[in-house]
Structure 1
Amino acid sequence: MNAITVYRLGRVEYEDGLNLMALFARARAQELVGDVLLLLEHPPVLTLGRGAKRENILASDAQLQAAGVEVFETNRGGDVTYHGPGQVVGYPIFKLPPGRQDVRRYVRDVERCVIDTLARYGLQAGTIVRWPGVWLGTEEDPRARKIAAIGVHISRWLTTHGFALNVNTQLEHFRLIVPCGIQEKGVTSLQRELGRAVDVPEVEEVLAEQFCRVFESERAAAPPPLRTVSVAVLRGRGADAEVLVLQRTPERGGFWQIVTGCLEAGESPAEAALREVHEELGLAPEPSQLLDLAYRHAFALGEQVPPRLVEETAFCVRWPAGAEVRTGPEHAAFEWLRVPEALQRLPFKGLREAVRRAAALP
């Protein structure tokens, strides 16, 4: 019997999600892994499918920037859609067997997984022939509203991209666009329909169950991620704030970063963060001086196939006046940079987001 490995990743930056999807697709094409279902949440982004019209983005670039919403072009089908917190995004990376090599059937099967998930919550959902996605209400119903977007890509019967189900989504962000190019109807969420917040991990479990049932597969256990920490080290406040950036030695990649490191056996993320600051910089902050940035995200480590998943937790430490920076052997140089310069220097979105959050602290 076929098996699906379900990865529940939590927050994933959009470009990291595209990279993860591409690496898993390469691994699946090479038979290095079986079928994979990625379940995750993106920060606020607009994505454009192959059939997207730019005029379906109603907001100006300035409005999007003020709302913290980025825009990405993709190779999936469909028009423009929104991803953001409180939404479950699913990327099925399946190699369709001969009996399932039918694009329309595959899309119907993905829709069925979402429809049957919603039925568990007492919602009678369906599809509308004229428009893609999963809907509550019929085309003739003036109150018909979309609760999930579907946009897939299939190449040599290998699937990527997938669906986005609104659970506790901030629906106001859909006003930035004409969702999927459909002007006539609105959008909704599980939270709006049920009148209460819904547990996202619970929804993910139901979705995983439905995918295994519809695609006649067992569920395989996902390997645990590598757990790491990042620490943004700041001195000064406000417009004068500076961030400590470190350049790795050439044999370690030569790129710039903030303090990072792996958890050791038995460590909590906070304990690992304190240890890494001491080992990499020679500073021994008190636990009370370590600030949790409420930012945990997943990404692929390097470009290896199949990908090695990382779950990173971000912290901040303020550098004491007059203290000396003493870097270890893994770094070739360090600099104190103003926040905008540091953001330009750092190559990875997760590190930049940690710095943004640290700089925004009072």
Structure 2
Amino acid sequence: MNTITVYRLGRVEYEDGLNLMRLFGDARRKGLATDALLLLEHPPVLTLGRGAKRENITASDERLTQEGVELFETNRGGDVTYHGPGQIVGYPIFLLPDSRHDVRRYVRDVERSVMGTLSEWGITAGPIPKWPGVWIGQEGAPDARKIAAIGIHISRWLTSHGFALNVNTRMEHFRLIVPCGIREAGVTSMQRELGHAIPVADVEESLARAFCSVFESERAEPAPLMRTVSVAVVRGHGAEAQVLLVRRRPERGGFWQILTGRVEAGESPAQAAARELEEETGLRLPVVDLAYRHAFAVGETLPPVLAEEHGFGVRAPPDTSVRLGPEHDAFEWVDAPTALERLPFRGLKETVRRTVSNQTT
């Protein structure tokens, strides 16, 4: 029997999600991993499929910036789609067997999996043939509304991208676009239909069961995620704020970053952040929890090694003296825009943004 490993990843930055699909796809193609179902949430982002029309983004670039919504072009099918907190995004990375070499069947099976999940919550939904996705209401009805978007990519029968199910999604953000280019109907969420917030974790469990049933597979659990921390050290306020960047030694990559490290056994993330701060800079200062956790793949290893990172910020006095630890060979204090330009990973940038924002309040 086929096996699906179900990963429940929490927040994943969108570009990290694209990287996860690539790595899991490579691992599956090479026989280094089972089929995988990645369940996650993205920060606010608009994604443009291969058939997208720019006029279906109704908001200006300035409005998107104000709302904290990013924009990405993708290789999936479909038009423009919104992702954001409270929405479960599912990326099935399946190598379809010969018996399932049928694109329409695959799309129907993804729809069936989502519909089966909704039925567990008492929500009756189904497809509307002329429009992609999963819908409540009938074609032509004035109250027809989409509850899940479907946008897939298949290359040599390896699937990627997938679906986005609105659970407790911020529905106001859908006003920034014409969802999937469909002007004749609306959008909805499980919360809106049921009148109360829904535990996302419970819906993820329902989705895992439904996909394993529809795709006739056993469920496997992944290895625990590596636990890591990132620490942004900032001095000054507002436009005068400066961020401490440290350069990894050549054998460790040679790139500029903020402080990072693993959470050791028996440590809390805050304890790990304080330890990394002292070991890598010689500083003993309070660390502030930024309420920022996200998952990502570490390096290019196949099968992927996954980490969940917890972000912290540190306020340093103007005369701070830095003593580098063994992992880095140089440091600089730079303004926030320069730091964001130099940092190689989206998660590190978000840690800096949150720390600088905290410094200005």
TM-score class, shorter-chain normalisation, is: over 0.9
2:260 matched to which residue of 1?
A: 260
Correspondences of 1:59-208 after superposition (within 5 Å): 59-208=59-208
1:101 & 1:323 partners in 2: Cα distance? 62
Is residue 351 from structure 1 mapped to residue 348 from structure 2 by the alignment?
yes
One-letter amino acid of the counterpart of residue 214, structure 2: V
**What residue is the counterpart of 2:323 in the other structure?**
326
Matching residue's letter, 1:11: R
**What do residues 320-344 of structure 1 show as CA deviations (whole Å, max 9, x unaligned)?**
3433100112111111111111111
| Deviation readout 1:2-38 (Å, 9 max, x if unpaired) | 1100000000000000000000001101111010000
Q: Per the alignment, in what secondary structure is the counterpart of residue 9 of structure 2?
A: strand
Classify the secondary structure of the residue corresponding to 2:75.
coil
Q: How far apart, in 2, do the equivalents of 1:322 and 1:99 lie? A: 68
Match in the other structure for 2:311: 314
Distance 1:75 1:321 in 2: 47
User: Sequence identity of aligned pairs in percent?
Assistant: 70
Distance in 1, Cα, partners of 2:82 & 2:250 = 39
Match of 2:289 in 1: 292
CA RMSD after TM alignment: 0.8
Letter of the aligned partner of 2:5 in structure 1?
T
Q: Which residue of 1 aligns with 2:298?
A: 301
**Structure 1 counterpart of 2:300, one-letter code:** E
Alpha-carbon distance in 2 for matches of 1:130, 1:345: 46
Partner of 1:235: 235
What is the distance in 2 between the residues matched to 1:200 and 1:339? 34
Q: How many residue pairs end up in the alignment?
A: 359
| 1:20 matched residue in structure 2 | 20
Task: Provide structure 1 residue ranges, at least 5 long, that are not aligned to the other structure.
Answer: none
Give me the whole-angstrom Cα distance separating, in 2, the residues matched to 1:257 and 1:205. 36
Letter in 2 for 1:201: A
Q: Which amino acid aligns with 2:349?
A: R
Describe the superposition over 1:176-215 as per-residue Cα deviations: whole angstroms up to 9, x where unpaired: 1110010000000011111111100110000001001111
Alpha-carbon distance in 2 for matches of 1:199, 1:134? 20
Q: Which runs of 4+ in 1 moved over 4 A?
A: none
Deviation, 1:239, is: 1.9
What SS does the corresponding residue of 1:360 show, helix, strand or coil?
helix
* 2-structure distance, mates of 1:139, 1:270: 52
Structure 2 unmatched runs, 5+: none
Measured against aligned partners, the alpha-carbon deviations of 1:86-127 in whole angstroms (never above 9, x if no partner) come to 000000000111111111111000000100111111111001
Aligned-partner Cα distance in 2 for 1:159–1:324: 51
2:40 maps to 40
Q: Per the alignment, in what secondary structure is the counterpart of residue 211 of structure 1?
A: helix
Q: Which residue of 2 aligns with 1:222?
A: 222
Alignment partner of 2:351: what SS?
Answer: helix
Matched AA of 2:202: E
Secondary structure of 1:251's aligned partner: helix
Aligned to 1:336: 333
TM-score, scaled relative to structure 2: 0.98
> Aligned equivalents of 1:8 and 1:351: distance in 2?
21
